[in-house]
Structure 1
């Protein structure tokens, strides 16, 4: 007997996450050069040379170069396109695909933070080409846990995903990820407790999109079960 539709769907989404991981095992190295150049500039400025003040605005970072803020330390690694990624909690409509940003996040606060909540990672990262559009979902990269809580001091590799029109982005296209610094507010009078909010652009990371599903072989488990009465010559 063939597998049930539910088992085939689970197998398909699991395979899709494996494609995502396999395409991401290439560790970016060009940011080492950026760090070296930055160290040189700091040392030079200490001796009075090249002490030109930087223009105000977001700091441009290379892929794989960390941004250390008050709330998170974020390392944006890469951007991918997929046909679907329901295992990450995003549902695409006909004519849509999934744009995903792979990053590592470490909660630098003293309390757990809900990654997908307002004031969490969902408002700390955005796509410049998708203004005002929060991610559809956030999932752990290792086990696909959807909308995880981020524990203090524990780095987590995550997939931050959006459902986008199928022709909105293409393989090889450059996009800019914006990292936002958020402010911790303590309530008083009417409100109480503490919360993060008021995101302000602090850094940008330019990425080249990798279409993970481009040229992918069809899922062999997605087809109809073979007819057991068709004989060994069926399908040849």
Structure 2
């Protein structure tokens, strides 16, 4: 003969199950929530030390800056380029940084004059002349034909010479044989974004930069001034 247990007795296992199950579920939910929040915030991503500093690239390596893929090639100092403009700039020579520029945009555009920034302290006793700024080369020249402020086409890489007017500590200090040490330049990165002021979209700096140690090199022949006697050129 089968006897059914009283209702109170039957409810005891149910109550124990509920009491035993829900705390575990709540605890599990809390753990899952913490893990999900940590992942969303990048907490489980590869840790990068706060003092790791800017990213670095080597000369000759293309750096995707946003509107351009920029390859820094070499730097030098010369007074054999646009010599007539040196006096007006109050300069002894030009500091020249040669870069390869591949327009990654969909439209033709000039290489941003903020594409390369010089260090605050220049080597070899060099100093920027007049009101020249480290992030504003002026002029910029197409290496193959010396045309100024060239308009670069999408997908057609060109070499561009960026020029800054400089003064020298000693006369011709770096003009005989050129510089013999690298120059560390900065490449700012850009992002195409909506602008809150004025509307529209444009390339804006992200605040991230890439440092490149640029080796000394020669002045590109295509930008050197022709001799005064054109027949000798």
8 Å contact from structure 1 (residues 135, 161) kept in 2: yes
8 Å contact from structure 1 (residues 100, 159) kept in 2: yes
For 1:61 and 1:136, locate their aligned partners in 2 and report how far apart those are by CA, in whole Å: 24
Q: Secondary structure at the match of 2:204?
A: strand
For 1:158 and 1:173, locate their aligned partners in 2 and report how far apart those are by CA, in whole Å: 21
For 2:105 and 2:191, locate their aligned partners in 1 and report how far apart those are by CA, in whole Å: 11
- Which of 116, 125, 129 is equivalent to 2:116? 125
TM-score by length of 2: 0.58
The residue number in structure 2 matching 1:91 is 85
Matches within 5 A, 1:54-203: 54-55=48-49, 56-86=52-82, 91-93=85-87, 95-115=91-111, 120=112, 122-129=113-120, 132-167=134-169, 170=174, 171-187=179-195, 191-198=198-205, 200-203=207-210
The residue number in structure 2 matching 1:43 is none
Say how many residue pairs are matched: 159
Judging changes above 3 Å, is the alpha-carbon distance between structure 1 residues 95 and 156 closer, same or farther for their aligned structure 2 residues? closer
TM-score by length of 1: 0.57
Q: Quote the offset at 1:68 in angstroms.
A: 1.8
Query: Structure 1, unaligned stretches of length 5 or more?
Result: 1-50, 213-218, 223-236
Q: Quote the offset at 1:133 in angstroms.
A: 4.4
Q: CA RMSD, aligned part only?
A: 3.1
8 Å contact from structure 1 (residues 96, 165) kept in 2: yes
8 Å contact from structure 1 (residues 97, 165) kept in 2: yes
Judging changes above 3 Å, is the alpha-carbon distance between structure 1 residues 95 and 159 closer, same or farther for their aligned structure 2 residues? closer
8 Å contact from structure 2 (residues 103, 154) kept in 1: yes
Q: Deviations over 1:166-191 (max 9, x none)?
A: 23984213310111102323346x62
8 Å contact from structure 1 (residues 81, 209) kept in 2: no
For 2:208 and 2:166, locate their aligned partners in 1 and report how far apart those are by CA, in whole Å: 22
8 Å contact from structure 1 (residues 98, 164) kept in 2: yes
8 Å contact from structure 1 (residues 140, 159) kept in 2: yes
For 1:196 and 1:66, locate their aligned partners in 2 and report how far apart those are by CA, in whole Å: 19
